[in-house]
Homo-oligomer: A and B are copies of this chain.
């Protein structure tokens, strides 16, 4: 896959990196990996409020951004995305669809589920690209994975490769031969491996939100334990042999 960039460039090639940060398990692991790769360079965290039911994830994103000492953390309002896609996506508020519960991993990965948000990663990456180019930064890190995932088309390596190609045709940096790279270190990792790698680096998974439909408690969100994202996460901790710090709502 010659055009893929799941690995970062030479350290010297980019004055820092933009990191897409939802506040979930995967993107927080990516933030830790980016920090490890660039201990001295600025990281720019980018989060999105798009009408998601689990907007509480953004509070974890803010804490994780501080924990890893980012140079800036931008929270972009993409509320219109939620309004335009509520008719089809169960993941956004106001949708007539419910978040599926109680499905096993094989079922989850069998078809594109109703939690799919049209063009979400394309929009996230487009915003990341705008910021990267304005900053003169040439790496955009993101936590997509095509293993133990929810079946979304915009998490697959062929999408990531294609977006990278488009990004280099779209921008002044690209036209001038200063290649912009998407860095997706988790793309071929199982959920168990993601957790093991992050755990070894001290990632605080207790302060990440994966659940699509969390409820609030006095001091922290409670995961439903039943949605696709909870199922993949719970099975990941089990397979990783790492204690699961997630606080689940009483069944």
**A76: nearest chain-B partner, CB-CB:** B80
Our pick among B81, B116, B170, B171 for the contact of A172 (Cβ within 8 Å) is B116
Our pick among B118, B169, B171, B175 for the contact of A133 (Cβ within 8 Å) is B118
Known: A77-B80, A80-B74, A162-B165. A171 touches B118 (CB 8 A): yes
Taking the complex as formed, is A123 at the interface, i.e. its CB lies under 8 A from any CB of chain B? yes
Q: Which B residues lie within 8 Å of A170 (CB)?
A: 119, 121-122, 153-154, 159, 163
Residue of A84, A85, A120, A163 contacting most chain B CB atoms (<10 Å): A84
Contact present for B133 and A129 (CB under 8 Å): no
The A178-213 residues at the B interface (CB cut-off 8 A) are none
Residue of A88, A122, A127 contacting most chain B CB atoms (<10 Å): A122
**A48: nearest chain-B partner, CB-CB:** B80
Taking the complex as formed, is A130 at the interface, i.e. its CB lies under 8 A from any CB of chain B? yes
Q: Which B residues lie within 8 Å of A167 (CB)?
A: 119, 122
Contact present for B118 and A87 (CB under 8 Å): no
Give the CA-CA distance A171 to B118 in the complex, in Å: 6
Contact present for B130 and A120 (CB under 8 Å): yes
Taken together, the copies of this chain in the complex come to 2
**A88: nearest chain-B partner, CB-CB:** B134
Q: Mark each residue of chain A from 13 to 41: 1 if its CB lies under 8 Å from any CB of chain B, else 0.
A: 00000000000000000000000000000
Our pick among B79, B85, B126, B172 for the contact of A153 (Cβ within 8 Å) is B172
Q: Which B residues lie within 8 Å of A121 (CB)?
A: 170
Give the CA-CA distance A127 to B78 in the complex, in Å: 10
Shortest C-beta distance, A77 to chain B (Å), equals 7
The 3 closest A-B pairs by CB, nearest first: A118-B133, A119-B130, A119-B129
CB-defined A-B contacts under 8 Å, sample of 29: A77-B77, A77-B79, A77-B80, A84-B134, A85-B131, A87-B134, A88-B134, A89-B134, A118-B129, A118-B171, A121-B170, A122-B129, A122-B130, A122-B167, A122-B170, A123-B126, A123-B127, A126-B126, A153-B170, A153-B172, A153-B175, A154-B169, A154-B170, A154-B171, A156-B169, A159-B166, A159-B170, A163-B166, A165-B165
* A residues at B contact (CB < 8 Å): 74, 76-77, 79-81, 84-85, 87-89, 112, 116-123, 125-127, 129-131, 133-134, 153-154, 156, 158-159, 162-163, 165-167, 169-172, 174-175
- Extra contacts, 15 of them, besides A89-B134, A154-B171 (Cβ < 8 A), are A85-B130, A88-B133, A112-B172, A116-B172, A118-B129, A118-B171, A119-B126, A119-B170, A120-B130, A122-B166, A123-B123, A153-B175, A154-B169, A154-B170, A165-B166
